[in-house]
Amino acid sequence: MSRIGKKAVALPDGVTASLSGQTIEVKGPKGVRTFKATDDVTITIEDGSVQVMPRGKSKRARQQWGMSRTMVANLVTGVTEGFKKELEIQGVGYRAAMTGNTLKLNLGLSHDVDYTAPEGVTVTAPKQTEIVVEGIDEQLVGQVAANIRAWRKPEPYKGKGIRYKGEFIFRKEGKKK
């Protein structure tokens, strides 16, 4: 029995939801997001909240129940607050700068890395050693942050590279003489 799926998703002021078939569309101050649920769940909108219920008692229906409720909750959070991932750059000479809407990364490679963010995601570099990725789609924000981090993952000896803010890097001891 899903504990998450039982809870209704409240729609805050300024957010509207509409349902057509299995597709729910949520409009808010930051934009519009949609989600198409599988046929294993039933979505209903009543009294300013969205309720997700399983159709039947199959294992797949119970799996989709909690996941669909979480996806609807992420739609509501995205159009009201948005999502944000912060990255830190550590290493001598490693830095980031914005030129227009292109992120220019100096990561100790023989060339600079130019990264253009996809539509719907905003990338900023408030400092040379910080990168902030923001948007209304949680999956897209996380994917963009992971793509930027993949250019130079933190290494375990000196900790140089791009890491998520607050990420712990397990450090190894170097060679001994």
Answer yes or no: are the C-beta atoms of 2 and 52 closer than 8 Å: no
Superfamily holding 83-164: Ribosomal protein L6 (3.90.930.12)
Instruction: Supply the pTM of this predicted model.
Output: 0.88
What residue ranges do the domains of the chain occupy? Answer: 3-80, 83-164
Residue 3 has a CB neighbour count (10 Å cut-off) of 7
Which tokens belong to 46?
């009543």
SS3 call for 23: strand
The residues, ordered by sequence, that sit 6+ positions from 105 with a Cβ below 8 Å of its Cβ are 94, 95, 96, 112, 113, 114, 115, 148, 151, 152
SS3 state at 58:
coil
Give 52-110 pLDDT, tens digit per residue: 999 999 999 989 999 999 999 999 999 999 999 999 999 999 999 999 889 999 999 99
The domains spanning 3-80 and 83-164 adopt the same CATH topology:
yes
Q: What percent of the chain has pLDDT over 90?
A: 86
Fold of 3-80: Outer Surface Protein A; domain 3 (3.90.930)
